[in-house]
Amino acid sequence: MTATTDRIVLITGANRGIGRALLEEALRRGARRVYAGTREPLGHPDERVTPLLLDVTDAAQIERAARSVPSLDVLVNNAGTALYDDLGDRAAIEDQLAVNLFGAHGVTQAFLPQLTRSRGAVVNNLSMTAFAPLPMVPAYSISKAAAFSLTQSQRALLAGRGIRVHAVFTGPTDTDMSRAFDAPKASPESVARAVFDGVENEEEDIFPDPTSQTMAAGWRSGPAKALEREYAAVGPPHARPAGFGGGGGRGPAHRRPPVPPGTGTRPASRRAAPVPVRARPRSGRSRPAASTYDIRPRRHPRTTRRLEMTTPRPGSILLGTTRPAELRDWYRRALAPDHRGEGPIDLGGFLLVIEERDDVAPGNGEPGRMILNFHVDDFDAVEAQLRAAGVDWLVPVADRPSGRFGTFADPDGNTLQIIRFTRSA
């Protein structure tokens, strides 16, 4: 759980409605500093509140705001607009995309350096219309659906930096924006409490009111959420967080070409591990996690419709965990001391992706179900490296008829082995 107490929070659209309620709730929970982003000057009696002139459609204001905030733990993209329309005016669509989609994107990009340093959180206040459009506000619904896709993409791409990204699916709320909408409405204060409860409980998707909560269970256990997780497991090896852009990321020259969902093209070169290690995972399944494969269909003549089959080649493995930072640090010490950054750990061309998940237990209850084997050339050097890292040996290093084996476990209880096979094995 990540408490709001003593944290630094920035809220856009903080002058009224849900934004003002979020501001007051952050103060009530003991935030050390709350930056209140508004288009007009805002006064507040609490000395912990720092007003920020921040029109999320103004790139210059966003840049100035980012320079004036030295550190940040939680960014709440709350600023939004809703106009009644019938899709007859393209400008109405563009205006709402400018605020609800590109505004959230621009602000997040600007504050990535601060959020990366703090391993903080991004909270995007969306709407139930992200799931299904409300006919009286179709352009607004389009913008929120796009912002939902942005949120899912940010979640996958920023996980390697340790940044959590939360989606808030707000239902009807008693604010000026929804005054003309005739339906039971939650109070802004109750929504704000539920939002911070969700952030503190590290819920990816937050349903903060009675209406939206009717969708929560179905969404979290449904096929669309499962597909999001599957695609997220594919994405990070090809779109490393350092290349996400903005805020200290690597420049465009370092970005890899886009990869269609469900496929994987491995980079031409990667940082080599300090000791020659070739990871060849045995068949089997990891505890609720998935392997990512490099699938390259062979070219076939245009004159035939038959597709030649190709054997999938393992390219990476994803380890789901409740403590990604600790697990990532352990793997660095034990297997890749030269690894830098928050992206996938390169184990001699095979990528190890470590992801925080809410569908796994703190420890692996079935450590024998999946064993990650490392076939090594210099067994003594790798063994010494592991001992220096203080690994927990499950089975002492021993010579067997087929070769030399050493079995150990990571902090989550996943089983690993180093192996040097004999030539005759």
Q: Are 107 and 123 in contact (CB under 8 A)?
A: no
Residue 115 burial (C-beta neighbours within 10 Å; 0-12, 13-18, 19+) = buried
Start-to-end C-alpha separation, the chain: 49
- Tell me the C-alpha distance between 138 and 188, whole Å: 23
By DSSP bridging, strand 392-400 and strand 403-409 are antiparallel
Cα angle: 118, vertex 54, 204; to 5 degrees: 45
Encode 35-72 in three state secondary structure. EEEECCCCCCCCCCEEEEECCCCCHHHHHHHHHHCCCC
Residue with tokens 């096979």: 421
Residue with tokens 């630094």: 8
Per-residue tokens: 402: 């087929």
**What is the Cα 379 distance to its own chain's centre?**
36
Closest alpha carbon to 195 in 15, 28, 6: 28
Q: Are 198 and 168 in contact (CB under 8 A)?
A: yes
Closest alpha carbon to 18 in 210, 205, 190, 207: 190
Is 331 a known active-site residue? no
Cα-based torsion angle of the residue sequence 24, 27, 31, 37 in order, rounded to the nearest 10 degrees: 40
Q: Could you say which of 140, 231, 293, 331 is catalytic?
A: 140
- Just list the catalytic residues: 140
